[in-house]
Structure formats: C-alpha cells, structure tokens
Homo-oligomer: A and B are copies of this chain.
Amino acid sequence: MSETCVLVLDAEPLPRLDRLRGRARVVHADEKSLAGHLPEADVLLVWDFLSAAVREAWPGEGPRPRWVHTPSAGVDRLLPELSASPDTVITNARGVFDQPIAEYVAGLVLAMAKDFPGSWELQRRRTWRHRETIRVGGTRALVVGSGPIGRTIGRTLMALGVTVDLVGRTARDTDPEFGRVHGNAALPTLLGEADWVVCVAPLTEESRGLFDAAAFSRMKPGARFINVGRGQHVVEDDLVEALRAERIAGAALDVFAQEPLADGSPLWDVPGLLISPHMSGDTLGWRDDLAEQFLDNFDRWEAGEPLLNVVDKGLGYVPST
C-alpha cells in the first residue's frame, strides 16, 4: 500500500500535524494550487473552511480524495459538487462548537434583554440613565435547527428559565429533553409566539432565505432574532426593513451572505442590529480541538474503522442517530 497523501487547504498553519509524521505524506495547497493537487490526494482537509475553492476545484472525472473533512459544522461550501462523488465521504466538526455557540446565543439573549448595548452607548456619552429591562426567565424561544448545536442552545436557554420550542426536519412527539421537536410546518405559527428566534439550521435549499419579510412579519413586535447559522438563511434587505420599521425589536447576526462584511455594507449601522464577525463558536484553543478531531478520525481511517461525523450528502448535515 502506498503512503496516504493528506492534502491540506490552509491559509493558516494547522496545529498538531506532527501526529501524522511517518504515517502520511502531507501536501499543503492554497486556493490556486488546490485543483492541481486534488487528483493525488487520498484525504482532503479543508482547514481553510471558509474557502469556496473546493467546489470550484473538485474534479469531475478521474481520481479524487476518498475522504474530505471540514472543521466546521456546516458543509454548504462543499455541496452539491461533492455529492456527485459517491465514493467520497465528507466528515465535519460536529460537537466542537455546541457549547461555545450555546454560550454565545445565551449571552446575546441576556445582553439584549438587559440592554447592554444601550448601557455601553450611554457610558460612551458619560450619561447615567436608568431603564427597566426584560426578565429572561418566563420568556419563550424558538430555536430553528435541532442538531447538536440547536439542542445545546435550547438546553442552555431552558436552564435560564426560558421555554424552548425546537424546530427540525423531522417532527417528534417525544423528546427526552424538549418534550417534542416541531417540524417545519409548525414554523409560521411558532414564529408568532417567540420572544427570541434563533437560527442555527444547516444551510440547504429548503432553508435558504427562510428568514424573509414574511417570516419577520409573523414575529411579535417585541421579538429579537439571532442568526448563528449561515448568512444565506436571511434575506438581509428584509431584516433591515423589519428593523427600520420596528416590526421586530432587535437582531444579532454573526453570519452574513458575504463574509467578511464589506466596509460599505448598510448592515453596520442599522438601528437595533448587533454584528459580530462569524466567531460565535471560536473559543480559545478551538483550532487545537478541531485539529485533534480530524487527527482522531484519521486514526480510524488508517485502522480501517468507520469514520465519525459522516455527512449525509443528500440532507446536507450529519443526521442525529
């Protein structure tokens, strides 16, 4: 058996790579050299997981990697091109981001409820102005996306006394933690009941543009919207319009249709809109965790064992067992 070739698409150095020493030939590629290297690679690690280069460079015919790993939760930057390669397995970073993103969303909920943005703006103006804030306990959240991240968000909000409705692909009447999981058909009704609407769905053809003018018009005037899914889940112009018309009370976006957000984007200064640069899951040491997760899966690959976190290319995510 010839030595395994691991191709790494990396803009930044990958930690812990010494674990592959003597076990694989590691080839580094950038977006330009990727296409030339793909035919020789057994394994592709999309370390630069924000890149769209893999879809463009993916070979239509001939040899190609049998395993592609992306150290992200979403795999939308790999599909649908890779779906046409039935022998290629895709794995993702399922699990690594659950707790960090849940903390991030809980933090946004509390920050918006307690109007921290308002307090810190008043601080800049050296102005003391007491306001009454929202009690989070007893409010209601709708979490769209019932994978591990969505479930961890739901669990964290429940610990704060929030009633949580979870929406997923498959409705279930019995769920050990949430009582039930709603199907997509329940979304229009549930949108009208929530104080907090959180999008953490995988990006698929069904979920693209899910949060549009119709969705925002169903929400309560006091509702706040949080997107930690993908920018393409939101029709950004419709969100801007909903905020400017005060049809909803506020929103926080960590992801955008175009990243990085351009300096000239009108989103930066929409009233009631909080912006962060796609970092909700990225806690100190996250790159180490992601590298270890890939390398642990490489151990399995080398031993001929089934890989963990295998994406269902038809669904566009790792189905829950």
Flag A106-140 by CB within 8 Å of B: 1 or 0 each.
11101101101101101100111111111111000
Among A13-21, A175-183, A191-199, A273-281, the stretch in contact with B: A273-281
Is A268 interfacial (CB 8 A cutoff)?
yes
Flag A19-57 by CB within 8 Å of B: 1 or 0 each.
000000000000000000000000000000000000000
| A131 proximity list for chain B (CB < 8 A) | 277, 279, 282
- Alpha-carbon distance between A123 and B129 when the two chains are bound, in angstroms: 23
Is A1 interfacial (CB 8 A cutoff)?
no
Among A83-91, A155-163, A165-173, A241-249, the stretch in contact with B: A155-163
With beta carbons under 8 angstroms apart, the residue of B114, B117, B159, B265 that contacts A159 is B159
B161 close to A160 (CB less than 8 A): no
- Alpha-carbon distance between A114 and B254 when the two chains are bound, in angstroms: 12
Name A173-218 residues within 8 Å CB distance of B.
none
Is A103 interfacial (CB 8 A cutoff)?
yes
Name A268-298 residues within 8 Å CB distance of B.
268-269, 274-280, 282-286
| A259 proximity list for chain B (CB < 8 A) | 128
Is A263 interfacial (CB 8 A cutoff)?
yes
With beta carbons under 8 angstroms apart, the residue of B113, B128, B275 that contacts A119 is B275
Is A99 interfacial (CB 8 A cutoff)?
yes
A135 close to B276 (CB less than 8 A): no
Interchain nearest-CB distance for A165 vs B (Å): 20
Interchain nearest-CB distance for A236 vs B (Å): 15
- Alpha-carbon distance between A119 and B253 when the two chains are bound, in angstroms: 11
- Alpha-carbon distance between A126 and B108 when the two chains are bound, in angstroms: 20
Flag A140-166 by CB within 8 Å of B: 1 or 0 each.
000000000000000010011100000
| A130 proximity list for chain B (CB < 8 A) | 277-279, 282
- Alpha-carbon distance between A117 and B116 when the two chains are bound, in angstroms: 9
| A79 proximity list for chain B (CB < 8 A) | none
Q: Assuming A132-B283, A132-B284, A277-B129, is B113 touching A103 (CB within 8 A)?
A: yes
User: Of all chain B residues, which has the CB nearest A128?
Assistant: B260
- Alpha-carbon distance between A261 and B128 when the two chains are bound, in angstroms: 7
Q: Assuming A99-B161, A128-B260, A137-B99, is B106 touching A110 (CB within 8 A)?
A: yes
A-B CB proximity, top 5 nearest: A107-B110, A159-B159, A128-B260, A135-B283, A119-B276
